[in-house]
Structure 1
């Protein structure tokens, strides 16, 4: 190549180099200009955008409030639990730090040895023993692209603290949750307490009834997170602490509930009954101290959520205990006195309808008090000759049948009471002795409690007090007390009931205490509609001379049929416990009992 050609190629190279240099200089100038612009004009907004991209708001869960008995015994509470989850992308990048020197606060080891693995395998080897999981199974859950994979729920705080010591922040994380725990493991109060759903909201029983009081207020916290999702220390900008739910105190006494439940279950076994119900009510306040049935659904279980207490939801014809309402109406309306005399045959016929007593007998000379003592259907119908249909209906209503108890318990039944205008020729008389309408055990308990409370029907209650998350008083109001019968009429009825209860003194008595009660037996339709079932019940006010408690026991299909024989002894057993537990003074001697025969 000649010199001229070489100079030509050199010129071309220099021109190209110059062009490239100019281009590079222009690019550098542009970058410098852009950088200068960002620093001078956009630095703040860029920093804010970066901070915003790293800032998260994390909710802080509140705990559901507690349910306690009248003495403060905890029946339901929410306890701290955690949901452990993994960031699979962070897991894939995980490289354990070997322990050496003074790096114990950040290194990873297993039994003092290095992990000798990376990624999911390393995390699984570290975490599986703490979670109590199989290493291979856990390793499989850790592999993937998700930023949120749940590894285990309901982890206790002690396990969470052990995970903290593994130094897996950003790789393995957890969320605070809660678990509802109940003292009732044996189904003593399951159908009453009910339960909550997966979100922690009450769906049955007291949990549903008082949900607004028990629900807490969640809080939140804002902070900046690192590349692996971990909180960057010192970056919290604002937080609002959660507020736990309030407290609900029941009128239930847990010790009494336990004893009543046991007595009822023993009675079911002894009598062969299909099921049983028992209620204990404080006379002067209307507070329910025990409410039991023979179901054994543990509180919080699916069974407890699906099956509310039979004492509130199940209704039945009360049978002869309903004669108390009739006697109260006859006395209050002045149609009879307790000493009025009647000659009562075994059966009678009215408007083509035949009524008879539970067992055959000859002509009996009974007072009105005697009719109640002998629980005579025929005598009750005879005494009610001038007792109008409207009066019959009104007194059944006044005593609370066909109405809400005021508890507002989920699934509560009002009972069934048809308008008197629709009663047929038979029903208009059967209602006199507790047939032709239905009531719950709670309602019938309050019938006797009204008589025992000198004729005043108190509103029943099962919530003694309650507060919400803000500390506001949310105690539900019970129905207002209302006078149903005069005090003098109530006193006469108590005397008549004491004579009735004395018939069962050999099987239903409490040493040192007088009992005023009424037994009942009623036929009940089965699934086919035939009257093949029967209810035996007994309701008593104890002590008769100064009533403190009313005890009701109802048994379905017990052997022995009659309520005084089957349910009476259970009432006495419960009553004896109540007298001892609450240190009730012994009764005074009975004087001047109303004559029952003539």
Structure 2
């Protein structure tokens, strides 16, 4: 019996041990499971926290500058900041009252502690330095506590950003570096420079056509940011790429000349009561455009400058009698005439196809040379001289002088004008093209055509961009397009000589003391606001000095009420600009004229 009881006790003890072992095993398993869970959860939480702290910050590339030929900055991007808030942290914000211990990081406005907390308190602090905003608007932007990013203000200056930093809102409010495009000369070259959009992309003018050159490549940094200060935690930068700034572009324009041209044009429309005026100055020595202005007052970068092209490139019109230069040059080149050929010119002519043409002024039968026909701007004389000048040749030389062809400057909004196919000309148009009617041009095209005569018969390639300087300072001179010979040098000299006689005719109104001028004026009817031929274009394009050509200046006016002929309105403005150029560039005075081709016989 004793043995049985001992066996039962042993069995019972063993069962208790097994039970205890099972309990301990269960507890150990639970602990291991708990430990694994805690480790996994902790790792997941750590990863989540790290991801929460990790920021990818864009390093904005600065857009390149646009400068004039003197290095004067016309457009540049200045350091600015977008002020950003974390609404979740803003709603948890508790202002720190100012004491001796907390004075380096406390929060107050004008020496007074805040009586609110959360986003409202953050908004009040910001409104005290962000002028033009109010606390209610700022608070509303931060009201959604589930958001982590909201832009409160754009293009804030570094000075304001420093004031925001002094509010001790690190981690809640911070600044992201950006750039603001600013233009230094107001309405000068307004639509020519154009503007950029909110994303910093060029959308008009040179800002658009040169966008790839001016625009840089943004960089970035990936790092962890502390919640308390909002700054980078040292040693946490994991990835980065430097921003590459855009290239600077230097133009051929001279700010002083452009300013003076603008002033002369504005004075001109006031003096002659004109609707608008425009002007171009081309430097034969450098091949660059020195000025291209109109009387519109659109500030560069403004919506108006983005929506409107400069009249210099967008306005096309019949050049009027300036077109006689192209016809005369073509006929001389084809060997049909010389400038000394003699004509007896009445004031009216009826052609064999029954079309009648008149000169602008009544006169008797005048004995003029071809040079005299140009000097007196005779439509009748031009028709008489073109007897053997075929329609196909008339069209060919107009095309050679650039009619209907873009200037090559790649300016936004430029119109090529209109030149119809010679086979489509009607009986009247085939003759009106001889004196600048029946086709249209813009001021740049006229300037290039007259520069062809000044350049010995070779059409130059106009240039507006002088050079490009990349972010490393490497300078690349802009390539100059190919020049094209249009007429022989001797032909160009004869036409230039006749154009100087034109200027002599207007010497009482158009003169630059000490300098000879070769020019041609024009007047043409154009469509007015009512769609009928109720408006007048008055233009003048000239070369100065005539004996040693340096500059070509074109001035155009619309609806001048005080004198409508180009020589009476656009001409004097030309002279004003010419005199300024002679003084600024210290151009030697002209030799006395001794080789004038006779204009009468």
Same fold by TM-score greater than 0.5: yes
Alignment CA distance shift 1:452-1:175 (3 Å): same
For residues 123 and 207 of structure 1, the distance between their equivalents in structure 2, rounded to whole angstroms, comes to 39
1:139-218 to 2 correspondence within 5 Å? 139-145=139-145, 146-185=147-186, 187-218=187-218
Q: Counterpart in 1 of 2:17?
A: none
For residues 239 and 64 of structure 1, the distance between their equivalents in structure 2, rounded to whole angstroms, comes to 20
Determine helix, strand or coil for the equivalent of 1:315.
coil
Determine helix, strand or coil for the equivalent of 1:276.
strand
Determine helix, strand or coil for the equivalent of 1:497.
helix
For residues 169 and 255 of structure 2, the distance between their equivalents in structure 1, rounded to whole angstroms, comes to 45
1:521-536 to 2 correspondence within 5 Å? 521-536=523-538
Q: Counterpart in 2 of 1:595?
A: 598
TM-score by structure 2 length? 0.91
Cα contact 2:82–2:151 (8 A) shared by 1: yes
Cα contact 2:165–2:174 (8 A) shared by 1: no
Determine helix, strand or coil for the equivalent of 1:382.
helix
Q: Counterpart in 1 of 2:299?
A: 298
For residues 41 and 198 of structure 1, the distance between their equivalents in structure 2, rounded to whole angstroms, comes to 46
Alignment CA distance shift 1:23-1:72 (3 Å): farther
Q: Counterpart in 1 of 2:12?
A: none
1:368-379 to 2 correspondence within 5 Å? 368-379=370-381
Cα contact 1:285–1:458 (8 A) shared by 2: no
**Structure 1 position 490, deviation (Å):** 1.1
RMSD of the TM alignment (CA)? 2.6
Stretch deviating more after TM superposition (402-411 or 207-216): 402-411
Q: Counterpart in 2 of 1:5?
A: none
TM-score by structure 1 length? 0.91
For residues 361 and 370 of structure 1, the distance between their equivalents in structure 2, rounded to whole angstroms, comes to 14
Q: Counterpart in 2 of 1:345?
A: 346
For residues 222 and 30 of structure 2, the distance between their equivalents in structure 1, rounded to whole angstroms, comes to 35
Cα contact 1:215–1:468 (8 A) shared by 2: no
1:24-173 to 2 correspondence within 5 Å? 29-30=28-29, 32-34=31-33, 37=36, 51-132=50-131, 133-145=133-145, 146-173=147-174
**Structure 1 position 23, deviation (Å):** 11
Q: Counterpart in 2 of 1:11?
A: none
Alignment CA distance shift 1:433-1:362 (3 Å): same
For residues 176 and 27 of structure 1, the distance between their equivalents in structure 2, rounded to whole angstroms, comes to 59
Stretch deviating more after TM superposition (478-487 or 313-322): 478-487
Q: Counterpart in 2 of 1:282?
A: 283
Alignment CA distance shift 1:23-1:324 (3 Å): farther
Structure 2 portions without partners, runs of 5+: 1-19
Q: Counterpart in 2 of 1:561?
A: 564
Structure 1 portions without partners, runs of 5+: 1-20
CA deviation vs aligned residue, 1:361-403 (integer Å, no higher than 9, x gap): 1000000000000000000110110111111111111111111
Cα contact 1:213–1:474 (8 A) shared by 2: no
For residues 150 and 451 of structure 2, the distance between their equivalents in structure 1, rounded to whole angstroms, comes to 58
For residues 273 and 162 of structure 2, the distance between their equivalents in structure 1, rounded to whole angstroms, comes to 53
1:321-340 to 2 correspondence within 5 Å? 321-340=322-341
**Structure 1 position 54, deviation (Å):** 3.4
For residues 435 and 357 of structure 1, the distance between their equivalents in structure 2, rounded to whole angstroms, comes to 14
Determine helix, strand or coil for the equivalent of 2:596.
coil
